[in-house]
Amino acid sequence: MIGQRRRISGLVVSDKMDKTVVVRVERRFKHATFKKYMTRYKKYMAHDEQNQCGIGDTVALLEIAPKSKNKRWKVLEIVEKAR
């Protein structure tokens, strides 16, 4: 699997920066002790070359070589636009 890049999808929560969006990616898991499903999230900065993403859009991200201190992902496609 050499050369295969990770793909994740999430919700755009900020588009205030130029060519950068902040994407919230949620994951659900079952707690080991309490056997209760929990939701955790993490925020990723992603490169958006055409500034086409808006807040509330669902996007797919692709892992890339670092573009800056915090950007290691790029927007692959917009899965669903916000209403």
CA-wise closest residue to 59 among 43, 81, 41, 39: 81
Q: Give the torsion sign (CA, 59, 55, 83, 51).
A: negative
Q: Look at residue 2 in the predicted model and tell me its pLDDT.
A: 65
CA 48 – CA 52 distance, rounded (Å):
7
CA 43 – CA 46 distance, rounded (Å):
10
pTM for this predicted structure: 0.89
Cα angle 49, 16, 81; round to 5: 65
pLDDT in tens, 24-76: 999 999 999 999 999 999 999 999 999 999 999 999 999 999 999 999 999 99
The token pair that represents 27 in the structure block: 């994951």
Contact call for residues 61 and 75 (beta carbons, < 8 A):
yes
